[in-house]
Amino acid sequence: MKSQPSQLSSNQPPPGPHLRPRALWFFSISVTIVFLLLGVRLFYIQILAHDQHLSRARSGTGRTDSIPAYPGDLRTSDGVIVARSETAFSLGLDLRPLSEEQIPSVVAAASDALGYSYGRRRERIGDVHRRKAKRQIYANLARRVDGEGRDKVRESLSGQLEPRLLKKALVVDRMTRRNYPKDEFLCHVIGVASHDGTGQEGLELSLSPWLGPRSGRRRVITDAREQFRIYSPETVEVAPVNGYDIYLTINSKAQGILEEELQRGISKHKAEAGLGVLMNCKTGSILAMASWPVFNPNDFHRYPPEVLAERRKNRVIENAYVIGSVIKPFIAASAVEAGVVRWDEKIWGGGRFHRIGGRRLEDVSNHGPISVEQAVVYSSNIGMGEIGMKLGRDRLIAALARFGFCRQTGIRLPGEAKGRHTPADKWNEIYSTTSVSMGYEVMITPIQLVTAFASLVNGGYLVKPRLVDKYVRAGEVIRNPPQLVGHTVTEEASGRMRSILHKIVEEGTGRYLKMKEFKFGGKTGTADMNPLNTKEDYLASFEAFAPLDDPEVVILVMIEKPRSGKIYGGSVAGPVVARVLRRYFSIPAKPEFERLKFKGW
């Protein structure tokens, strides 16, 4: 029996069409709520939390870059650049993309481009292999390479690595390099700066607060791999500020003359070392300053320590010497100023030998009866011993202090020595008094001596020595004016001393240094450098001023341990001074020793 299909009840509605409006209503409400929530969220992000999300976005797509600023230049008074910073590059290798097999060829190619020796190339290869074995990721190739050197390395490595790998492996960092265009010229004054620009010696150290720059900062937008960088002037957060350009009182012409003649004198007399300084006696401006031996600040780090210790020393500033007879004009002037003697007073009756107390004094020559003035002209030890005894201990010590001896001058160079003399409580009334009067039992730096000598001939004005003339940056000029420290002698005494010093050149111990139609004055000095007075190691000195009528400059030259057979200041250091003055003032006449063709002068 077949079953019949069931029939729907007449009162049950058919499914479908009457349910659609309700579903659409529910869907519309849901969509509206979702968009409302999205609008609220968007309002919160765009308005209420705008700054927070902008900062997060920027931190994820960019970085803060340093804007380089450069240290200032060092220039001579006539504008010659003696120290300047320039762009350089540090080169290295990222070891992660390189295999052990690639390292030898890559390092060898870079070493050849940098001009390394075979031994240094092997050393570099070994160093990179060790770093790779220790799973280190970086190996340095070179520092302070210029743009040309960077390009050579990049070109050389392009033959070893494909472009994509080369871009990953070669690390190039920009930096600054301090360059000294004149090499050894003025090296002891300029000093040197380290790889990171920090001053280590000389003016590079003492003037670092003025020379030093202040780097800037800017925001840079980059992609994830930092292959593209976008920045604009509006992204600068801190502007860079370069250091001051510093103009020195040094005159490049005078410095060149002094260095040439000093080295010539040292070589001629087979000496171990020497120094020279030329100063404007009215303003204290250092026109030239030289020490020998010298060093090249561009190769400062390549000198062995024992060699560098001797070459880097600025003897004008750092050394204190027993100066010998060059002190005699100061003692004589002090005695006359104190009223214990007169210039024309007879101080010694004549002869080469004399005893003061239990001490025997000796002169090189017998000049007969001599006055105070003649004791200076002929550099008489006996005459100066008698003058010292009349002054006495307290007035001698006061005289040293008045001329600025045995205390720092305050010149803008590091490492300035102070000097010393026998203290009052250890002073022997005979030996110490006569010794100090002849330049012994007292140690004085060359910068103290030339500064005091300037006051002796400029009217008695002790002026602080200065190396810096002005600081310049972006139109700003800060000047460093001369500074008066004190008074040493009267105008009258200074004028008399100029006349006496001129006589030394005309008829005294410096008579072979005179030049026709050019008048100047000076004082010779010879001192035993060995504390035991072995008479083997001498210091030959000559200090001078020029011109005679209106002194403009003073100069001091000291030569240590001459071995040519000549030891006296007049024949060893004096010719150097005479040649410097002749060239500086463009004097056509030759000094007497050159005109007479003295051998060894």
pLDDT of residue 1: 43
In the chain (601 residues long), the average pLDDT of successive 10-residue segments reads 47 55 79 84 79 65 72 96 91 90 90 89 88 88 88 90 89 88 96 85 95 81 57 67 95 98 96 97 98 94 87 96 96 96 94 92 91 95 96 97 97 95 96 96 97 97 98 95 96 96 94 93 94 83 96 98 94 96 94 80 78
User: Is residue 149 packed enough to be buried (19+ CB in 10 Å), middle (13-18) or exposed (0-12)?
Assistant: middle
Closest CA to 388 of 364, 356, 416: 356
pLDDT of residue 320: 97
Structural domains of the chain, with CATH:
88-175 (3.30.1390), 252-595 (3.40.710.10)
3-state secondary structure 13-67: CCCCHHHHHHHHHHHHHHHHHHHHHHHHHHHHHHHHCHHHHHHHHHHHHEEEEEE
Cα–Cα distance measured from residue 356 to residue 398, given in angstroms and rounded to the nearest whole number: 22
Is residue 324 within 8 A of residue 524, CB to CB? The reply is: no
Half-sphere exposure of 369 (CA within 13 A, CB side): 4
pLDDT of residue 12: 55
Cα–Cα distance measured from residue 400 to residue 441, given in angstroms and rounded to the nearest whole number: 12
pLDDT digits (tens, 9 = 90+) for 203-217: 999 999 999 988 887
User: Is residue 386 packed enough to be buried (19+ CB in 10 Å), middle (13-18) or exposed (0-12)?
Assistant: buried
Task: For residue 88, give both structure tokens.
Answer: 């350089």
pLDDT of residue 8: 44
Half-sphere exposure of 211 (CA within 13 A, CB side): 26
pLDDT digits (tens, 9 = 90+) for 502-540: 999 999 999 999 999 899 999 999 999 987 777 789 999
Rounded to two decimals, what is the model's pTM? 0.83
Q: Which helix (H) or strand (E) holds 491?
A: helix 491-507
Task: For residue 411, give both structure tokens.
Answer: 């010149």
Cα distances (angstroms) measured from residue 280 to each of 266, 464, 514, 544: 24, 11, 21, 12
